């Protein structure tokens, strides 16, 4: 089988866990050299180890999505290590506190927006110039079905993910002629530690959200990873500014 990302260098944020780890493994399987970035060191090192154990090339870079200096250093480290940056999956994110709009705490709001939205913008701020120096690249931002629909009790999360969709479309238009494609993936409910945190302490909640999926089950991180690999690859060479739902049909309802 052809390797979709042969000779490419891919950076994945939130690569210690869940969707990010699955994407890092899938990018490596498709021939990319992979930089795994996350605030969580042990999980990120484990993702890199899984890649090298399978015969791939990977490094781990610790970076906090709320710190611009760390994100600039993250991109610089990728370029210093591998000589270029071709693909970036800006994926790190948190669900944040739950609560209706009128009672939501300001500090909780700011934390979600800082990581999920400002963090994605800052990643692109440093990734795009690095990509332009080698003629272009592909960025995939992780939005959510919550970037296309309202989600009661998650005002900051839904706002951050709607913001990611708008930012993705804007950057796509700005850099289309320069050869940088920018897309978003909008996952439905995916079985990751994030969803375990949201459902874990509430009996019956996991089963309830699974039935909310038209397809009749929650998704697997690997099912998001496959769409990210495709969007990053030259197979998607005419796709930019797209918010791709990979959601078991939630947004189609």
Q: What is the DSSP string of 136-178?
A: -EEEEEE--GGGTS--TT-HHHHHHHHHHHHHHHHHHHHHTTT
Residues 174 and 233 sit within 8 Å (Cβ to Cβ): no
Taking the CB of residue 109, how many other CB atoms lie within 10 A of it? 19
Q: Hey, which residues between 29 and 68 contact ligand NAP (CB under 6 A)?
A: 38-40, 43, 64-66
Among 8, 10, 12, 14, binds ligand NAP (CB under 6 A): 14
96 binds ligand NAP (CB under 6 A): no
- Per the annotation, the verdict on 126 as an active-site residue is no
Question: How far is residue 132 CA from its own chain's centroid?
Answer: 21
Q: Using CA atoms in the order 18, 166, 127, 14, what is the torsion angle rounded to 10 degrees?
A: -10
91 binds ligand NAP (CB under 6 A): yes
Name the residue nearer to ligand NAP (CB basis): 56 or 221.
Answer: 221
- Specify the stretch interacting with ligand NAP by CB under 6 A; choose among 3-11, 92-100, 200-208, 238-246: 92-100
Name the residue nearer to ligand NAP (CB basis): 132 or 198.
Answer: 198
Q: In 3-state terms, what secondary structure has residue 194? A: helix
Whole-number minimum distance, CB 228 to ligand NAP, in Å? Answer: 10
Pick the catalytic residue from 82, 104, 126, 157.
157
94 binds ligand NAP (CB under 6 A): yes
Name the residue nearer to ligand NAP (CB basis): 178 or 212.
Answer: 212
CA distances from 170 to 38, 78, 132, 134, 173 (A): 25, 25, 17, 22, 5
Distance separating alpha carbons of residues 231 and 244, to the nearest angstrom: 9
Residues 105 and 113 sit within 8 Å (Cβ to Cβ): no
Query: Helices (DSSP H) in the chain: which residue ranges?
Result: 18-29, 41-53, 68-82, 106-113, 119-132, 155-175, 193-199, 205-212, 221-232
Whole-number minimum distance, CB 65 to ligand NAP, in Å? Answer: 4
Whole-number minimum distance, CB 133 to ligand NAP, in Å? Answer: 25
Whole-number minimum distance, CB 166 to ligand NAP, in Å? Answer: 16
Q: Hey, which residues between 187 and 206 contact ligand NAP (CB under 6 A)?
A: 187, 189-190, 192-195
Residues 124 and 181 sit within 8 Å (Cβ to Cβ): no
Whole-number minimum distance, CB 234 to ligand NAP, in Å? Answer: 24
# chain residues binding ligand NAP, by CB under 6 A? 27
112 binds ligand NAP (CB under 6 A): no
92 binds ligand NAP (CB under 6 A): yes
Catalytic residues: 157
Residues that bind ligand NAP (CB under 6 A): 14, 16-20, 38-40, 43, 64-66, 91-94, 115, 142, 144, 187, 189-190, 192-195
């Amino acid at each position: 089988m052809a390797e979709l990302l042969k000779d490419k260098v891919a950076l994945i944020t939130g690569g210690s866990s869940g969707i990010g780890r699955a994407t890092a493994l899938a990018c490596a399987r498709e021939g990319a050299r992979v930089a795994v970035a996350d605030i969580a060191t042990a999980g990120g090192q484990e993702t890199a180890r899984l890649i090298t154990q399978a015969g791939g090339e990977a490094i781990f870079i610790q970076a906090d999505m709320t710190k611009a200096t760390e994100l600039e250093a993250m991109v610089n480290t990728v370029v210093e290590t591998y000589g270029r940056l071709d693909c970036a999956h800006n994926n790190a994110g948190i669900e944040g506190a739950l609560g209706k709009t009128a009672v939501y705490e300001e500090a909780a709001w700011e934390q979600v927006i800082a990581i999920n939205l400002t963090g994605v913008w800052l990643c692109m701020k440093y990734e795009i110039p690095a990509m332009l120096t080698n003629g272009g690249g592909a960025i995939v931002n992780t939005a959510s079905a919550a970037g296309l629909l309202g989600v009661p009790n998650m005002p900051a999360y839904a706002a951050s993910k709607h913001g990611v969709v708008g930012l993705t479309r804007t950057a796509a238009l700005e850099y289309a002629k320069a050869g940088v494609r920018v897309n978003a993936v909008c996952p439905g409910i995916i079985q990751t530690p994030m969803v375990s945190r949201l459902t874990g302490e509430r009996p019956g909640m996991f089963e309830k959200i699974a039935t909310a999926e038209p397809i009749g089950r929650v998704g697997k991180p690997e099912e998001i990873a496959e769409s990210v690999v495709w969007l990053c690859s030259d197979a998607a060479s005419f796709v930019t500014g797209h918010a791709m739902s990979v959601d078991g049909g939630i947004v189609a309802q």
